[in-house]
Amino acid sequence: MGFENIVKNIDSLPPLSNAAHIIQTLYAGGLENLNISRLVKVIESDAMLAANILKMINAPYYSFSNKIGSISQAVTLCGSSKIYMSVIQYAMNEKLKADPSIYGFNTNQFNDLCHLQSALMQKWYSTINIKDAKFLTPLALIMESGKLVLATEVINSDYVGEFRKGYNECENIQEYEISIINHTSYYLTALLFEHWNLEPDYVYILKNLDSQDTDYIEEDITKKRTYEKELNVIRTAINAKDILSDAGIEKASYIVENMGYSAEEFIIIAKELRDSYIDGTSRN
């Protein structure tokens, strides 16, 4: 198992689905020029994709009072950027076909983890900066995708037992990932986005999120934001080892407070999200 092999495997991944490619093209002209009716028709043309989008938006942690029964409603309520990244996440998962069991999750549970991160970003950061929240919410949805790449590499190696032992014993997931492949899984997510020619700003953010050197940091770093603190809040409260525990929420709230925002308000939002998730899980 090595980083070079992982990169090689990413480079050999086939193109995304036809629907995802068409939707990517629709977004290429910018959100202000997006043809919403065309977007809805493309999603509806792929029955599995449409079903996945509706399943996502009707999850309890998105807190919509009434069931959403159409893609046009989903786009209106979630926003076109969130729907776009949901399409990309679905298409990526279809191509990766990864087994996240090395992290102690089945596929549905791992998807829940991703959507919870996205929901927390939306609910919390919308109280601070709506424009940035709209940008960061889709990123929070897909930022863990690199773990699926790493999971595939581990499962196809002779290091499954060794990985699980190290993972279970580690206190910091990012530090453990760096110790075995010299990068974090967020960097792998960035490589996935590069491979499929997806949102370059997300590539920039994810490559710099846990950077161990300055190789990728561009000259105009002062003109761009890496949103490290915002993403650290989310992945501290919700991650592959801890989903909205009291300790995790409290630890994340310290970051929020150090950013100059209300820790109390964050704790309330996080616990309400946890309650919605637990309630929804118990009913399924």
**Structure confidence by residue, pLDDT tens digits, 180-221:** 998 999 999 999 999 998 889 999 999 999 876 555 555 455
At 82-104, the pLDDT tens digits run 888 888 888 888 888 888 999 98
Give residue for tokens 């050999």. Answer: 12
At 245-277, the pLDDT tens digits run 999 999 999 999 999 999 999 999 999 999 988
Q: For the chain, which residues make up each domain, given as ranges? A: 3-283
Instruction: Return the pLDDT at 271.
Output: 96
Task: Calculate the CA 140 to chain-centre distance.
Answer: 4
> Model-level pTM?
0.88
Architecture of domain 3-283 in CATH?
A: Orthogonal Bundle (1.10)
Collect all residues with Cβ–Cβ distance below 8 Å to 83 and sequence separation of at least 6: 39, 43, 53, 74, 75
Instruction: Return the pLDDT at 225.
Output: 81
Helix axes 228-237, 107-125, angle to 10 degrees: 130
Q: What stretches of the chain adopt beta strand conformation (E)?
A: 238-239, 242-243
Give residue for tokens 């919410």. Answer: 137
Instruction: Return the pLDDT at 52.
Output: 87
> Token pair of 137, please?
């919410």
> Per this entry, what is the length of the chain?
284
Percentage, residues of the chain above pLDDT 90: 50
Mean of the per-residue pLDDT values for the chain? 88
Residue 120 CB-density burial (10 A; 0-12 exposed, 13-18 middle, 19+ buried):
buried
What 3-state class would DSSP assign to 57? helix
At 10-67, the pLDDT tens digits run 999 988 888 888 888 888 777 777 888 888 999 999 888 899 889 888 887 777 778 8
Cα dihedral sign, 74-75-78-82: positive
Instruction: Return the pLDDT at 23.
Output: 86
At 107-140, the pLDDT tens digits run 888 999 999 999 999 999 999 999 999 899 999 9
Instruction: Return the pLDDT at 80.
Output: 83
